[in-house]
A and B are shown apart, each in its own frame.
Chain A
Amino acid sequence: KYKQSSLLSFFTNS
C-alpha cells in the first residue's frame, strides 16, 4: 500500500 519514492525526484544530478 506504500509506494517507494526515488532520490532522483528530490536531488539533482550533477
Chain B
Amino acid sequence: SIKDSVKLCNFNCSQSQGITVQAIDDSRVLLIALKIDAGSFQEFRCDKDLVLGLDLESLSKILKQGNNEEYLTLMAEDSPDNLMAVFEDKKKDRISEFSLKLMDIDSDVLTIDDMETDCTITLPAYEFAKIAKDMKTLSESLKIVVTKDSVKFNAEGQIGTGSVILKPHTDMDKPEESVKIELNSPVALTFGAKYLNDIVKATSLSSTVTIKLTDKSPALFEYKLPSGYLRYYLAPKFDD
C-alpha cells in the first residue's frame, strides 16, 4: 500500500509494540505511520529491539514469490545484514526461502502531538477510494467541506467542476456501510488529489476509513487493521 509513496523505510521491531513504521514521502507532504501489533502474528518473537531498513520495492518482489495460502515467516538476527523470508505451504512439502539485503536508512522522524480534532468522518473505504480516483480526473486539488449534516468533496478543474455529497446514515445490517460524522466545528480543507490517491491504495486493508480534520492542520486518514493501524497524515493546501 505504501511503496508508491515511500521507497525506503525503517521497520522497528519490539516485543511490546510489534512492528512500527514511520515514513515521510520525499516532498514532506505525506507521513505514513504503520503499526502491526505482535498479536497480529501467529507467532512473534523479538528478543532485542531491532530496526530493519527495507527497500519496499525489493520487499515487494520477495513477498510476491509466495502464494497467498502459504505461511510466511520473517526472520532477522540480532545485528542483521539480511531479512530472511520463508514461505511454506500447509503440508510443508513446498518451502521457498529468500534473503533480502537490509539497508542503513537515515530518515526524518516527526513527533506528532495529540491533535484537537474539529471533525471525524467514518465512511466505507471503497467509497472514499472512488471519490478520490474520480475527482482526480477533474482537478489536482480536492476540497473537503464538513458540516454537521454532510461531508462534501469538491473538485474544480479546467474542464468543469464536480462534487460528491455524503450524508450521515447508519446501516444496521452492514455497519461498515455507514457514514458517520462527529463534529466539533465545521471544516473546509483542500488536499492534493495525487496524495489522496496514494492514500486510497490502502483500501483493501480495511472496510472503513476514518478521516480526522482540523482547520489549517494536516488531516489524518486511518485504516484500522485487525490488530494495529495504517495512518496517513496529509498536509493541506492553502489559497495562494
A→B interface (CB under 8 Å): 1-14
Contact = CB atoms under 8 A, between A and B. Distances in A.
Contact of B28 (A2, A3, A8, A12): A8
Of B141, B217, B218, B239, the most chain A CB neighbours within 10 A belong to B218
A6 B108 contact: no
Contact of A10 (B192, B218, B240): B218
A1 B240 contact: yes
B153 to A, nearest CB: 15
A2 to B, nearest CB: 4
Contacts of B179: none
B110 A13 contact: yes
Contacts of B108: 13
Contacts of B68: none
A8 B110 CA distance: 8
B235 interface: yes
A4 B239 contact: no
B28 A7 contact: yes
Given A6-B29, A7-B28, A7-B218, A12 B237 contact: no
